[in-house]
Amino acid sequence: MRTRVTAAALGAILVLALAGCTTPEQPEPTPTPAFSSEEEAFAAAEATYRAYVDALNQVDLSDPETFEAVYELTTGEANANERKSLSQMHADGWTVAGDTGIKAFLGDSYSGETLQAVVCSDVAAVEVLDANGHSVVSADRPDVYALEVIFQMSPTTTSFVISQSTAVEDERCA
């Protein structure tokens, strides 16, 4: 009986000794916010959106390689929608003339990984033509319209990418 107790005690001491030789588990680092303020985050999102509009303005629908810059600035739903619409316009032989502008960028909310803004998009100078040279722009399209844009932190950079863009009614863009 005494040897059984001694063996159990030695086993417990051995377990404790081995546990002391292991390195303690490192705590998970706390992620630091990419931006020090909401104002800084809104400025970064606006820069992303301006780069996106610049990329759209450089698209040549006859050359799908020009679509890549647009795709790089989008993710998720926005990326899927851009891929679908640009590919369809290319397949249909459409052309775009004129540039989209930004009348206003209005940051609404920022929560660390996600930012929401309203963009007042100026499309007065944009004409979209079908393969026969006829306009496909609706006669009642407003020159300026509001878009609610959702941005997500990019997994590969320290800035944002566009994840959603939806036309909305917003009097700030009137």
In a domain? residue 139: yes
Q: Residue 139 is part of a domain; what is its CATH number?
A: 3.10.450.50
50 within domain boundaries: yes
Tell me how far apart the alpha carbons of residues 153 and 4 are, in angstroms, rounded to a whole number.
61
Sign of CA dihedral 164, 170, 173, 174: positive
Residue 15, pLDDT > 70, answer no
Reported confidence tier of residue 16, pLDDT bands at 50, 70, 90 = very low
Tokens 């959106």: give the residue: 49
Q: Contact, 52 vs 74, CB < 8 A?
A: yes
- 7 occurs within a structural domain: no
Yes or no: say if 140 and 170 are a contact pair by the CB < 8 Å rule.
no
The count of domains in the chain is 1
- Domain range holding 130? 35-173
What tens digit of pLDDT does each residue of 62-81 get? 999 999 999 999 999 999 99
In a domain, 13, yes or no: no
Q: 29 pLDDT exceeds 70?
A: no
**Is residue 1 domain-resident?**
no
Mean per-residue pLDDT, 31-57: 91
CA 86, 166, 39: angle at the middle one, nearest 5?
110
What pLDDT digit, counting tens, does each position of 78-135 carry?
999 999 999 999 999 999 999 999 999 999 999 989 999 999 999 999 999 999 999 9
How far is Cα 102 from Cα 59, in angstroms, rounded to an integer?
Answer: 17
- What is the model's pTM? 0.80
Which helix H or strand E contains 76, and what residues bound it?
Answer: helix 76-91
Q: Can you spell out the DSSP letters for 11-67?
A: HHHHHHHHHHHSPPPPPPPPPPPS-SSHHHHHHHHHHHHHHHHHHHHT--TT-GGGG
Q: How far out from the chain centre does Cα 19 lie?
A: 46
Q: Please state, in angstroms and rounded to a whole number, the distance separating the CA atoms of residues 36 and 66.
A: 34
First to last CA, the chain: 91
| 21 lies in some domain | no
Q: Which two tokens stand for residue 159?
A: 């800035």
Whether residue 87 is contained in a domain is answered as yes
Q: What is the pLDDT of residue 25?
A: 61
In a domain, 118, yes or no: yes
